Amino acid sequence: MSINILVDMNLSPDWIALLQQHGYDAIHWSAVGDLRAADATIMQWARDNRHIVFTHDLDFGTALALTHEQGPSVIQLRAQDVLPDRTGKVIIAAIQRHLPDLASGALLVVDESRARVRLLPI
- Can you tell me the mean pLDDT for 45-60? 96
Q: Set out the domains of the chain in order of their start, with CATH numbers.
A: 4-119 (3.40.50)
pLDDT tens, position by position, 67-80: 898 899 999 999 99
CB 1 within 8 A of CB 100: yes
Q: Would you call 100 exposed, middle or buried from its count of C-beta atoms within 10 A (0-12, 13-18, 19+)?
A: exposed
Q: What is the pLDDT of residue 2?
A: 80
- Can you tell me the mean pLDDT for 82-108? 96
CB 52 within 8 A of CB 75: yes
- Can you tell me the mean pLDDT for 16-42? 96
Q: What is the pLDDT of residue 115?
A: 96
CB 68 within 8 A of CB 121: yes
**Cis amide linkage into residue 121, ω under 30° from 0:** yes
**Quick check: 12 pLDDT over 80?**
yes
Share above pLDDT 70 across residues of the chain, in percent, rounded to a whole number? 99
Q: What is the pLDDT of residue 103?
A: 94
